[in-house]
Amino acid sequence: MPEHYELRLLADFVQSALFPAAWPQLPNTWARPTPLFVGGELENDERGEVVFAEITPPVGPGLGFNDEDLRKVVIVLDGAESDKYVSLSGVRTNVMAPPKDRIWGNRLYSFGTPHNSNPLLNTTLKYKQNVTVATLAGPNPAGITGNTVPYRVRLWGYVYKAAELPSVFGTMQFPAQLIDTLRRRTVLVNKAPIPVNAESWLTLPGGKDQAIPKINPFARYAYNAAVTDALQGDYQFRLQTGGVIEEDENLYFEFDDKDALLIEGLGVAAANDLVTLGNLARTGLRIAGDYHPKGPTTRQSLTPTDVGINQLNYGLFRVGVPGGPLNPIVDVYSAIPKLDRPYLIWNEIGMVVIRDNGVAVPPDPAGVVVAVTGIRIEMRS
């Protein structure tokens, strides 16, 4: 069977005593295993594309409330970290890339469509030498012990022999169009056609050597770093106003005509298993001053995401298995919900917003986490 039809494990990092920096992993520290350690090296005549990730979240000692703070997982391609575009939460309650066999309804999030020559579909992460991951422990004083369940990060995708790339992919054709049918907006993405071969591999969408315009997958999260206003007003996940603590969590986009983001998925979950969505009322997008989804009034716009029924839920939910003497509980996960239609932010200001119910949503670590997926376009030279 040709190698490009074989989905394979590209990298596998397990928290264990074999990697002392992660056993235990102290608060606010990184674990950076080498490509060799995770089995992520390629031969000189091979090229790889990462299609999806699986994160088994860490679980601490005891029963009940024992999430551990795997705050961030970043994919490292040929030594370059992808966190500008892909920054994944690994906390069990809000994990963005859960194990495939535990996802409810098999709604797996992928970085793109593999072995495909459509530039807006094949946004998989490309590499030519090696791939690994970097993991960050959050500020929880306990760090990450993994005493009950150590964390594990696996990357899946395809590896191609250099000689077979032209026959698998052909030529990637442009122009392509990002289309927001609801708002009747279109961005034309144009460049010269790219014959796909070993030399051009990293210039494809998802590669680090792209020419302008650049096309990349987008998957990032944000915690509310501050308290909401207790007045049902908009809370913005904006770095400049203290809404988040770092650039990778900034979900406020002030774009001119050289930048665009097509938002395809949006979710909101509790920060960890010690808290609930509590006082959260609504979650959604504000683009060019308009709220999405719209409502009969401004106050009733956005998606209801209260503790009773959260239409944008993702991450952990527990399912009881009847019939056993102990009625065991199985961890099952929801993927980040796909929006009914994608929304385009281009040459305007767009942002993710949440609202409370008139009582403040407390800040991290007792707040909420939002997650966004989509396609990022950069047209600035």
Domain-by-domain residue ranges, the chain? Answer: 1-226+244-273+309-341+363-381
pTM for the full predicted model: 0.94
Encoded tokens for 68: 């551990």
Backbone phi, then psi, for 311, in 5-degree steps? Answer: -70, -15
Any idea what DSSP says for residue 35? H
Tell me which of 37-46, 59-68, 98-107, 272-281 is least confident: 59-68
What confidence tens digit (pLDDT) does each residue in 151-166 have?
999 999 999 999 999 9
DSSP labels for 108-174? ---SS-SS---TTT--PEEESSBEEEEEEE-S-TT-B--SSB--EEEEEEEEEEGGGHHHHH-EE--
What confidence tens digit (pLDDT) does each residue in 281-312 have?
999 999 999 999 999 888 889 999 998 889 99
Encoded tokens for 198: 């070993």
Is 108 exposed, middle or buried (CB count within 10 Å of its CB: 0-12, 13-18, 19+)? middle
Segment (H or E) for 37 = helix 35-38
pLDDT of residue 147: 86
What confidence tens digit (pLDDT) does each residue in 80-129 have?
999 999 999 999 999 999 999 999 876 889 999 999 999 999 999 999 99
Encoded tokens for 370: 């939002």
What is the chain's mean pLDDT, rounded? Answer: 93
What is the torsional sign of CA 21, 26, 32, 33?
positive
Encoded tokens for 216: 């990349």
**If we measure between CA atoms, which residue out of 225, 226, 237, 305 comes closest to residue 269?**
305
pLDDT of residue 1: 44
What confidence tier does 333 reach under pLDDT thresholds 50, 70, 90?
A: very high
Q: Which residues pair with 303 in a beta bridge?
A: 283
How far is residue 238's CA from residue 250's CA, in Å, rounded to a whole number? 5
